[in-house]
Chain A
């Protein structure tokens, strides 16, 4: 090597550029006072992925845009309890929400409801018609983990129907259950009606007679989150949610 210092010098220049770039971009996009209300950070249950995308489109008309973090409700509340910078939290059940009650600026409110369905591959090749069909050992069934609201509701539904299922996997968010069925890795899963709607064309939904109804709660973690919560509860917000298949609270 003729110039041993050259690669190192180039590396340090590159590193410096990256660091400076990062600094300047954070300082320019740093929201000022009042700005954060227009650009809240929203932690939401993964089943809200499409519906909250729709909420964001509706908000865009008001010059507002939320940043979302979608995951299983139980993962989101654990992050908030550890100080994650959320302005709003929306969970798929009341139990999970209650664990972060002390972090909210106002009590959480129910903003939507959702039914459970069985999803199968498109056309329902295994002719699943009820929960009892899921006990068939030849069927690869995937559920959400019981710590996830969707998994808890599914367990309730199965227990009420006196059906024992041996799932192949317990996913950490309901959308992973849908994905496994969409990809054909699983034959059937239990998800929300709204998830099945989002996967329309790739999966077939089998409605459940009766069964638990999920009730979704939303709360503001700080004042910057109040406007988003108000919008979700307002008539325009509710019509977006119902467009994506959610039931009114």
Chain B
């Protein structure tokens, strides 16, 4: 049997790989390595980094606390409008983030339909990130629950465990790897959020200027700082992939 791929497929694949790889290589080539550490450790950069970490973990917490129950409902219960709920959960995945930001503004802005008085606060940045990151977590956990043999849960309840007890002691530990993978993807997405944040939360160093916003602003005044911060974000992304070790491939929506 001929194991070599057809030439046309191989050529297209190589072009595609070059397209994906070259920008990353360019970033590394252009990076001011000698000053990298000093550029990413300026007070402004450190403030943006600290804020990004706070916001992305805040968004992840919201996504886990509200997302896991949604995933459980989708995987374990039949109810009217289930396909609508699944579509609703998936919308932020396909919606342009800036549109998400505009929508958040008209929902929770000062004159929104449910005014929360959080515009321009760090909370607004957290909500913007949670909005875009939530689908990654829900779909991953739902996938993990779907491939789980629910006889474990049945056995637990026949042994007298209540539904919540079963969920905490049996279901959650069993889907932990799926939850971890979903959490890593959701966190990475939250960390990279730009469009919804700048639209809903604005741009203020120390309060709402997260790393991606800092990269964008720096690119207009100090490109070297922008590249250095970009390398930092790239390193974090690679780290997430290493932590996942290909586990996301087993996730199905």
Could you tell me which A residues sit within 8 Å of B by CB distance? Answer: 72, 74-75, 78, 140, 142, 145, 147, 167-172, 180, 183-186
A185-B219 in contact (CB<8A): no
Chain B 138-164: CB-based contact to A (< 8 A → 1; otherwise 0): 000000000000000000000000000
Measured in the bound complex, the distance between the Cα atoms of B102 and A122 in whole Å is: 22
The 4 closest A-B pairs by CB, nearest first: A169-B202, A168-B120, A184-B111, A78-B220
B220-A185 in contact (CB<8A): no
Q: Is the interface of A mostly helix, strand, loop or mixed?
A: loop
A140-B220 in contact (CB<8A): no
Could you tell me which B residues sit within 8 Å of A by CB distance? Answer: 105, 109-111, 119-120, 198, 201-205, 208-209, 216-217, 219-221, 223
B247 to chain A minimum Cβ distance, whole angstroms, is: 28
Residues of A within 8 A of B198 (CB): 172
A235 to chain B minimum Cβ distance, whole angstroms, is: 35
Residues of A within 8 A of B105 (CB): 183, 185
Q: What are 22 A-B contacts defined by CB distance under 8 Å? A: A78-B219, A78-B221, A140-B110, A140-B119, A140-B120, A142-B120, A147-B221, A168-B120, A168-B202, A169-B201, A169-B203, A169-B204, A169-B208, A170-B203, A170-B204, A171-B203, A172-B216, A183-B111, A184-B111, A185-B109, A185-B110, A185-B111
B118 to chain A minimum Cβ distance, whole angstroms, is: 11
A168-B220 in contact (CB<8A): no
Taking CB as reference atom, which chain A residue is nearest B213?
Answer: A172
In addition to A168-B202, A185-B119, 8 A-B residue pairs with Cβ atoms within 8 Å of each other are A78-B223, A140-B119, A140-B120, A142-B120, A145-B203, A169-B202, A170-B203, A170-B205
B222 to chain A minimum Cβ distance, whole angstroms, is: 10
Measured in the bound complex, the distance between the Cα atoms of B201 and A186 in whole Å is: 12
Contact residue among B120, B205, B221, B223 (Cβ-Cβ distance under 8 Å from A185) = B120
B220-A74 in contact (CB<8A): yes
Residues of B within 8 A of A142 (CB): 120, 202
Contact residue among B109, B119, B202, B220 (Cβ-Cβ distance under 8 Å from A147) = B220
B22 to chain A minimum Cβ distance, whole angstroms, is: 16
Residues of B within 8 A of A171 (CB): 202-203
A167-B111 in contact (CB<8A): no
Measured in the bound complex, the distance between the Cα atoms of B138 and A144 in whole Å is: 38
B202-A180 in contact (CB<8A): yes
Taking CB as reference atom, which chain B residue is nearest A147?
Answer: B221
